[in-house]
Structure 1
Amino acid sequence: MELRHLQHFVAVAEDQHFTRAAERLMVSQSGLSASIRALERELGTSLFVRTTRRVTLTEAGRALLGEAERILAQVRAAHEAVAAVQGVLRGTLALGTEQCIAGVHVARLLAAFRREHPDVEIRLRQAASGALAEEVTAGRLDLAFAVRTRADTDQLRSVSLTKEPMTVLCHPDHRLARAGAAVTPDELGGEVFVDFHPDWGPRRTTDAVFATAGVGRTVALEVNDVHGLLDLVDENLGIAVVPRHFRHKRASLTAVPLKGTGDARYETVALLPPPEATSPAARALMTLLDTLASPGVRGPGA
């Protein structure tokens, strides 16, 4: 089994199309097809179900994909480690992050990283925390800034960035704004809620707060971006329970403290693979984050 076979396999699995994968890899389609057939012969099974429109993974292909991604990530890390020993950091930094993550100003951090390591290509992916954890575990990302969603494992470790309480955002004409007092989850049971999709960190934290309090709630207005959430609250269509630093994002809204949440906190972390699998670029970024530990780089909530 050759590395190029695994590279070709992963590309086809990601694109679900031989032609697009061949274009991305800059190889001929016939050469790519031959590479996949060679891999299937060696493994003694089909890896893809082929149709005229796309290809999908077989059960064997799905089993191979995670292992292939980890192998390729380890090979890349080996190349980058050798370059780092030679005094030059190069290669790729694949970073994931949630929107408006607390504890780090991602853009400023990446700008500082590029100034120090101009030979490293930066790739950024924005997604929900659960998906980011899976991508770091699979080796598709070097690290991610996310909300803690699971305990550390032998494939995934976390470094805490910051913790903060949740707060309620509402329209200034809303009854909660007029009352001007802190509220408990029980007092919000009948409200219309605006929130993110279930995999996003703030939504996970809010769901945990209400579950712990034994209070049911229905999210009537579900969005996948911060500005959409703020716009809906700004039109008095519902309230939102969000991390405290969100209160600075829309001056026209009223922030009401949320009490009675016990130990529940919105905690942001850096998600990394085990130390031996952490790429030199990821280690350099984390070192830079510690070096530049100031409000301007660590971001709100830090």
Structure 2
Amino acid sequence: MDTPDRLLRIFLRIAELKSLSKAAEDLDQTQSGVSRQLATLEAQLGKPLFVRTGRGVALTEAGQKLQEALEGPYRAIDQAVDAIRDAHGTTQGTVRLAVVHTVSYYFIADVVASFVSAHPNVNLSLMGRSSADVVALVESGKADLGVVYDTAVDTATLTTHPLFEDEMCLVTLQRPDAPQSIPGDGLDLRGQPLRLVGFPHGYALRRMVESAGLQPTYVAEAETVDAILKLVSAGVGDCILPCRLPDKLLHEYGLHKLKIRSPLLRRRMVAVTHAARHALPLADTLLASALQVARTLKP
């Protein structure tokens, strides 16, 4: 229903983003739907509020006056609502968490368990994505919190919250006839002919491997850890994954970890939130759970 409040808030979002398409994406609507609602508001006011530019839209004189009149009151309303939520708590609702696939196996489960046990009536939506997708989801407002490699965050739109460091290892088949001459301090992979099963291009872990100077042959690609482990267990190739992956999980596939001495493959995991949007209290609580669990992890 096109209530006055709804139309005015859509107008303010378009004015802020200077784009109908970006406003539609941010509001999780179609561009045609946003255009229709803007046309309804303009018809009610009898004045055009925007003019099209080469890069989007710009406010008309009437649009500027309307924005100036609305921003202060709407900001006060939103702050009052947030203050009430903060003071009295929120026990119901939905929180959207986007994470890179790897942390689902050794970090996020503890975070989710901690959060859900304290908020049993909250719906937690968990999305496993690539690093780039996690960043995009939080930027667009489609996720309230993200967990990602810090190297994937190259935007002032997001605020980062350091969690822990991840070191990589080589995951390979447990072969009875494997050579026993692996150094105690780990493998030197520099110059070695590596046949790897890995994530597709664009995933932060794959970029990490390549930026370290290794030049592996990727014999297969997969978008989930389970799919990668199945391929490695079938003898397709080895893989490079975080050392924090549980040994029990690897043993189920007949695999084990080998420490990598050189090059050093280590990256920091961070939580990311939108810098400009005031987070819901539930999202702040979820972030606090993530930070608490991260403090319990061993180096």
TM-score, structure 2 as length reference: 0.68
Change (3 A) 1:42 1:175: farther
TM-score, structure 1 as length reference: 0.68
Distance 2:260 2:190 in 1: 11
Corresponding residue number in structure 2 for 1:27: none
Corresponding residue number in structure 2 for 1:127: 129
**1:160–1:270 CA contact under 8 A, matched in 2:** yes
Corresponding residue number in structure 2 for 1:10: 24
Which deviations, in whole Å up to 9, do the C-alpha atoms of 1:82-127 show, x marking residues without a partner? 3323412255422111123179632443343234335644332221
Distance 1:232 1:75 in 2: 55
Q: Which moved more, 1:215-224 or 1:274-283?
A: 274-283
Which deviations, in whole Å up to 9, do the C-alpha atoms of 1:49-106 show, x marking residues without a partner? xxxxxxxxx9638xxxxxxxxx9xx999747623323412255422111123179632
**1:77–1:278 CA contact under 8 A, matched in 2:** no
Distance 1:11 1:276 in 2: 15
Corresponding residue number in structure 2 for 1:183: 187
Distance 1:153 1:230 in 2: 32
Corresponding residue number in structure 1 for 2:217: 218
Corresponding residue number in structure 1 for 2:197: 194
Distance 1:129 1:12 in 2: 20
Distance 1:218 1:38 in 2: 57
Corresponding residue number in structure 2 for 1:260: 262
Corresponding residue number in structure 1 for 2:210: 207
Shift of 1:14: 5.0
**1:148–1:268 CA contact under 8 A, matched in 2:** yes
**Larger strand share, 1 or 2:** 2
Where 2:125 maps in the other structure, the secondary structure is strand
Distance 1:121 1:80 in 2: 21
Aligned ranges 1:148-187 → 2 under 5 Å:
148-150=150-152, 154-173=156-175, 179-181=181-183, 182-187=186-191
Where 2:262 maps in the other structure, the secondary structure is coil
Change (3 A) 1:33 1:107: same
**2:169–2:243 CA contact under 8 A, matched in 1:** yes
Distance 1:155 1:230 in 2: 35
Is 1:42 the counterpart of 2:70 in the alignment?
no
**1:94–1:141 CA contact under 8 A, matched in 2:** yes
**2:106–2:246 CA contact under 8 A, matched in 1:** no
**Aligned-CA RMSD value:** 3.9
Gaps of 5+ in 1: 22-31, 47-57, 62-70
Shift of 1:197: 1.9
Aligned ranges 1:270-289 → 2 under 5 Å:
270-274=271-275, 277-289=278-290
**Identity value in percent:** 17
Distance 2:262 2:219 in 1: 24
Shift of 1:134: 2.6
Change (3 A) 1:79 1:95: farther
Corresponding residue number in structure 2 for 1:250: 250
**1:176–1:256 CA contact under 8 A, matched in 2:** no
